[in-house]
Amino acid sequence: MLRAIVAEPELDAHARATAFVWLAESRPERDFKIDCLQRALAHEPDNAQVQEMLDRLRTSEASPQIAAARPVVIDAAPPVVGIRGGPNEPGSGFFVNQRGLVATTGYVTGSATTVDIGLGNDGTVEGRVVRRFPASDLALIETPAQVKSLGEVMPAMLMARDDLIFALTYSGARTRGVIREVGTGARSQWLVTSLSPALMSDAGGNPVGDAAGKLAGMLTRNVDRGSGGLYALGIGQIQQLAEQVQQEQRLMPDAGYCGACGSATRAHRYGGLYCETCGAQLPEAPAVAGASPDLERLSRLYEGDENEPCPTCAATVGFYAGRCLRCGRELTPPARWATGEAAS
Amino acid sequence: MTGWFRRGAAPQDDSLGQLEVSARAVEDILASIGVDAAAARMAVESGYGWNFLRGSALIEVYLTPEDWGFLQVLSPIMHLPQSNLLALYRRLLELNLELTNAALGVHEDVVYLYHERLLEGLDAVEADAVLRRIAGVADELDDVLVEEFGGRLYGQG
Ligand SMILES: [Zn+2]
């Protein structure tokens, strides 16, 4: 399948290069990885990240894996970690995979790009926020921790009304409550709990466990207006989004993070000053402002020229609800349609 | 949030007296529109802050001592959706032009409705009108925008 992707004639050089990076990840052999990364570089010679991966791979005889610098090895994941450095600190969080990815809420991290992660007896490590999903109020943070074993999880769909739950806070508090409602349909990621904001002493991100101590989700500070209870995000949604982030990182190893909207961004790689998702100025902007931007790549990234031109202003930015997004004029059908002379 | 825009000037002694008078006036106004002012109080770094619900909209009110003292009324409306942002931004700018005495803006990933004016000369009738107007517009806009563009209502699941 990947081989088919890299052979696809429609792909641009960057996409082809990232496909080779992904292909490199698909097998453990060092020589195979080096071969793939060399091919990636041949398509995109200025990709510093691929060059760096290749250099690291060539110098590491012992391990074919690209290892993080100085990992903190933890035998069993602590049930809750502490998070400082966001606008509403302190908050709580927890590990979602063995590679040390930590989940907390977007409310806890805000637009911060790095935070301090408290690991109890294992001290404090610096975490790098890699993505925020505003629709789920989830922030995912990379840490140098490697976790040998994680606790068991309980999918939210198996939880039922009135089930006993416990929310953990990094300060040590264990707050008891029940499930009030399990979301269905489009709201199936959410659980409404009986816990109220006044009961909780930090900014959220608390792991929520069932009576047997299995991880069911993460407590947010979003409030159900009907009952006054706090929403928890189900563990299934958290794991799914964590997996999505890891896939994106394989496909776009050079992507950065936009603290304003939480998206992955590549605009700065081509000298762009603004996030291609939300338009916010990127933190790298001042550093690259003097450099000459790669306008061709940027225009593809900003999707500025992929639409039919507006008949009034000729802008190719696109249309919404029948109106040009640049000039706002209605996209009226050609005159022959209006007069009923439609071509057959 | 501790006041919206931070101003550099130090608090002035004569504005502090005015600030307390204004805080009492704001609490009277909140009571007159059915808000429990004591329950609505928020801890802020300087000045005073309150928040309360109006329909589905959350309203935050700040009295800031910086410079001459300002009344700031804002309503966080929604978290930006992940896609179709250009259309939403355009809609917000169009709505901005239609709004009187209030502005729509984006801070980080949240759309806000915002009003600010000098405390000096503010009377209860005018403050009441401002609060009612922001609350009314925010309550109307939040559902409409989320319905059309997606995203998540602020502070809700
Ligand atoms: Zn962004």
- Determine how β-strand A323-324 pairs with β-strand B103-107: unpaired
Is A94 found in the same domain as A51? no
Is A320 found in the same domain as A225? no
Residue A344 belongs to some domain of the structure: no
Which of B108, B145, B146, B153 is the best substitution to test chain A (most A C-beta atoms within 10 A)?
A: B108
Residue A33 belongs to some domain of the structure: yes
> Among residues A66, A84, A100, which one ends one of the domains?
A66
Residue A341 belongs to some domain of the structure: no
Name the average pLDDT for chain B: 84
Using an 8 Å Cβ cutoff, are B75 and B110 in contact? no
Residue A265 belongs to some domain of the structure: yes
> Among residues A251, A279, A314, which one ends one of the domains?
A251
Calculate ∠ Cα B45-B48-B52, nearest 5°: 115
Of B79, B108, B157, the CB nearest to A111: B108
What per-residue confidence (pLDDT) applies to A304? 62
Is A131 found in the same domain as A88? yes
Q: Which two tokens stand for residue A109?
A: 């991290």
Residue A229 and residue B104: Cα distance in Å, rounded? 29
Residue A168 and residue A206: Cα distance in Å, rounded? 5
Q: State the CB neighbour count (10 A cutoff) for residue A250.
A: 15
B45 touches chain A (CB under 8 A): no
Of A183, A192, A325, the CB nearest to B86: A325
Q: Which residue has the higher pLDDT, A341 or B37?
A: B37
A101: which residues sit within 8 A by CB, 6+ positions away? A95, A130, A140, A141, A142, A143, A242, A245, A246
In terms of Cβ atoms closer than 10 Å to its own Cβ (0-12, 13-18, 19+), residue A263 is buried
Residue-wise pLDDT tens digits, A47-81: 877 887 787 777 655 433 333 457 899 998 999 99
CATH code (residue A174): 2.40.10.120
Residue-wise pLDDT tens digits, A84-96: 999 999 999 999 9
Average pLDDT for B149-155: 91
Is A144 found in the same domain as A87? yes
Residue A317 belongs to some domain of the structure: yes
The Å distance, Cα A129 to ligand 1 centre, comes to 14
Give the ipTM: 0.74
Which of A261, A281, A327 is the best substitution to test chain B (most B C-beta atoms within 10 A)?
A: A261
Residue-wise pLDDT tens digits, A121-152: 889 999 999 999 999 999 999 999 999 999 99
**Cβ contact, residue pair A320, B90, below 8 Å:** yes
> Among residues A46, A66, A86, which one ends one of the domains?
A66
Is A265 found in the same domain as A310? yes
> Residue A39's domain spans which residues?
2-66
Is A311 found in the same domain as A171? no
Residue A343 belongs to some domain of the structure: no
User: Quick one: what percent of chain B has pLDDT higher than 70?
Assistant: 89
A269 touches chain B (CB under 8 A): no
CB-CB neighbors (< 8 A) of A261 in chain B: 80, 108-109
Is A299 found in the same domain as A332? yes
Q: Which among A147, A133, A132 has a CA at the least distance from the CA of A68?
A: A147
Distance to chain A for B141, nearest Cα, Å: 18
Calculate ∠ Cα B110-A201-B78, nearest 5°: 15
The answer, yes or no, to whether the previous bond of A253 is cis (omega within 30 of 0) is no
- Tell if the pTM clears 0.80, that is, is over it: no
Total domains in chain A come to: 3
Is A62 found in the same domain as A74? no
Is A225 found in the same domain as A197? yes
What per-residue confidence (pLDDT) applies to B5? 42
Residue B154 and residue B57: Cα distance in Å, rounded? 8
Q: Which among B61, B43, B37 has a CA at the least distance from the CA of B132?
A: B61
Question: E-assigned strands of chain A?
Answer: 72-76, 81-84, 91-95, 102-105, 114-118, 124-133, 138-142, 145-149, 164-168, 174-182, 190-193, 206-210, 215-223, 230-234, 256-257, 264-265, 319-320, 323-324
What per-residue confidence (pLDDT) applies to B113? 97
- Determine how β-strand B70-79 pairs with β-strand A114-118: unpaired
Q: What is the rounded radius of gyration, in angstroms, for the C-alpha atoms of chain B? A: 16
Q: Which residues pair with B118 in a beta bridge?
A: B70
Residue B18 and residue B123: Cα distance in Å, rounded? 12
Residue A13 belongs to some domain of the structure: yes
Residue A307 belongs to some domain of the structure: yes
B68 has a pLDDT exceeding 70: no
Is A219 found in the same domain as A180? yes
Which of A107, A223, A303, A319 is the best substitution to test chain B (most B C-beta atoms within 10 A)?
A: A223
- Low-confidence stretches of chain A (pLDDT < 50) are 1-4, 62-68, 335-344
Is A332 found in the same domain as A222? no
Using an 8 Å Cβ cutoff, are A217 and A232 in contact? yes
- Residue B52 confidence class, pLDDT cut points 50, 70, 90: very high
Is A208 found in the same domain as A149? yes
Q: Which two tokens stand for residue B130?
A: 């401002």
